[in-house]
Amino acid sequence: MTQARYRDLVEWPLMATALIFLTAYAWQVIGRVNGAATLPFEVILWITWGIFALDYVVNLWLAEDRVRWFLWNLHELLIVVLPFFRPLRLLRLVTLLSVLQRTVGETLRGRVATYVAGAAAMLILVGALAVLDVEQNAPDAKILTFGDAAWWAVTTITTVGYGDLYPVTPIGRIVAAALMMSGIAVLGIVTASIASWLVQRIEENAEDVAAAAGERAAAAEEPVRAEVADLVTEIAALRLEIAELRKISESR
């Protein structure tokens, strides 16, 4: 079993686990479930967290260079070892984006549509849920409903920041900072994709122009080539006649 093979096998199960986690988390946060009613949701959240923790351990074990994989995946470790910061566990949902990208395809337009629609929607939903979870019960909180949280997430990820709603808790501000950086990253990916698409179109047009010019040049040279071919044929015929005349003169 290799790490690549393992990831292929667990990709969709992990996606389903992430969706279950998201559903339970959203239900608990938006519904403001408290007291004994939170027990089923907490059980689901801890089970899914355990699955993600097991996935991290297996990936580390199967990695060819464990030290390098560990260093390059410190964010995975933070998500696993900080389960009490429940909103931060929503970062695990980024696995949905990688699966969605492979499903859509590897074309440029497919990647742009995936990152714009999928990444933006996922980040807005995750950011709204995370900030609402930590803000709705905080003193002097500004974000009290899911509608407020969604509006705040939209203005934050687009780097507009109206300032009418803002987090007042430390965790809420961490979520805000992560959402702002994610928004900049998404916009950067979109800009790079569009620039790449424009360069590709320019190169294709240049190739088409060069091909058309080559065809015109070939068409213009065709009569000349025909005349040259006729001259070559006539010269060959003249040489044959000259050779025959020489033979006749020599025989006399």
Residues 119-139 have pLDDT tens digits of 778 888 888 888 898 888 888
What is the average pLDDT value for the chain, to the nearest integer?
77
Q: What's the CA angle centered on 114, arms 108 and 120, to 5 degrees?
A: 130
Q: What is the pLDDT of residue 61?
A: 92
Find the distance separating the first CA and the last CA of the chain, reported in whole Å: 94
6: helix, strand or coil = helix
Q: Give pLDDT tens digits for 47-88.
A: 888 888 898 899 889 988 889 988 888 877 776 776 555 555
Smallest CA-to-CA distance from 76 within 61, 91, 87, 98 is with: 91
Q: What is the pLDDT of residue 86?
A: 56
Q: Give pLDDT tens digits for 2-48.
A: 888 888 888 788 878 878 888 888 888 888 877 788 888 888 888 88
0.95 exceeded by the pTM? no
Residues contacting 90, CB < 8 A, separation 6+: 22, 25, 126, 129, 130
In the Cβ-directed half-sphere of 250, how many Cα atoms lie within 13 Å? 6
Q: What's the CA angle centered on 128, arms 123 and 129, to 5 degrees?
A: 105
Smallest CA-to-CA distance from 122 within 169, 197, 179, 163 is with: 179
